[in-house]
Amino acid sequence: MSLNNEKSEAFFAGQRINLDIGFRCTLECPGCSRQRAFKDIRPIPGHDMTVDEFRKIIGHFSRITMCGQISDPIFNPNLLQFIKMSKEANVTLGIHSAASQKSMKWYEEAFDSFGEGYWTFGIDGLPKDSHKYRINQDGVKLFEVAKLCSAKGIKTNWQFIVFRYNENDIEEARQMASDHNISFELMKSSRFGTAEDQLKYKPVNPEYYISR
Ligand SMILES: C[S@@+](CC[C@H](N)C(=O)[O-])C[C@H]1O[C@@H](n2cnc3c(N)ncnc32)[C@H](O)[C@@H]1O
Ligand code: SF4
């Protein structure tokens, strides 16, 4: 289909787009493409999305998700500016993050500048255990970040991928989320492969993983 500029704006208005706004992450989650498809490829290809690139995108899309495939959005140095630009443009923003290596002051500024949308935090297990899969994560700190996000009135989700080490902690985590007005999203994974370094994460209960 070929569209001129005006038609293309109308076509995309209100549509959602998922962006990978960078190439960096401090975590080493074993099921992530960074440790699988890109295992022997360093540096990971890509670049930090620029302010000009983001400006073009918010001219066309009104719902933007920053999740991506090979990076964590908090490491794009322009993210605070993207957040402010989204608020000014009434763009709904969804940010998915599992890394915890920003200061509480940075998170505070991010939340205070945030407009419409949500943040999803990947904390796989009780906060004290999440680093077993989210290698290099400070899960206890990230849960404090999620609590702050929720307290600031932002829709906040706790994404909990079920693994062998956390499959018996689901109800406790669900209650912790509820206590802080955080939505609890249980996620079943299919990424267990056959190698022992992946298989050790596979839940015992077959209800908690997807077979392919
Ligand atoms: C590459 S991450 C990028 C966003 C962010 N860094 C994060 O981890 O949430 C994209 C998505 O993959 C998910 N993911 C990571 N490990 C997974 C696994 N073993 N099975 C299923 N999804 C996984 C993350 O939770 C996230 O929703
Ligand atoms: S936090 Fe996200 S991007 Fe980083 S290694 Fe884990 S799954 Fe990949």
Question: What are 126-182's pLDDT values in tens digits?
Answer: 999 999 999 999 999 999 999 999 999 999 999 999 999 999 999 999 999 999 999
pLDDT confidence of residue 1: 44
Site to probe by mutation for ligand 2, drawn from 72, 124, 189, 201 as the one with most ligand atoms within 8 Å of Cβ, is 72
Site to probe by mutation for ligand 1, drawn from 67, 79, 209 as the one with most ligand atoms within 8 Å of Cβ, is 67
Distance CA 120, CA 108 (A): 16
pTM check: above 0.75: yes
User: Can you list the domains of the chain with their CATH numbers?
Assistant: 7-208 (3.20.20.70)
Q: Are the CB atoms for 170 and 163 separated by under 8 Å?
A: no
Give the residue, 212 or 72, on which the prediction is more confident: 72
pLDDT confidence of residue 7: 60
Write out pLDDT tens, residues 98-112: 999 999 999 999 999
**Amino acid symbol at 54:** F
C-beta 21 within 6 A of ligand 1: no
Phi-psi region of 179 (alpha: psi -120 to 50; beta: other; left: phi over 0): alpha
Mean pLDDT of the chain: 94
Both tokens assigned to 186 = 């249980």
Sequence length of the chain is 212
C-beta 142 within 6 A of ligand 2: no
Distance of CA 128 to the CA centre of its chain: 19
Nearest to 113 by CA among 61, 149, 75: 149
Query: Hey, whose CA ends up nearest to atom 2 of ligand 2?
Result: 72
Q: Which ligand 2 atom is nearest residue 137's CA?
A: 1
- The owner of tokens 């706004």 is 21
Q: Are the CB atoms for 83 and 118 separated by under 8 Å?
A: no
Residue 126 sits at the vertex; the CA angle it makes with 102 and 36, to the nearest 5 degrees, is 65
Query: Which of the four pLDDT bands, split at 50, 70 and 90, describes residue 15?
Result: confident
C-beta 203 within 6 A of ligand 1: no
Both tokens assigned to 175 = 């209650």
Give the residue, 196 or 88, on which the prediction is more confident: 88
Q: Which SS3 state, helix, strand or coil, does residue 188 take?
A: coil
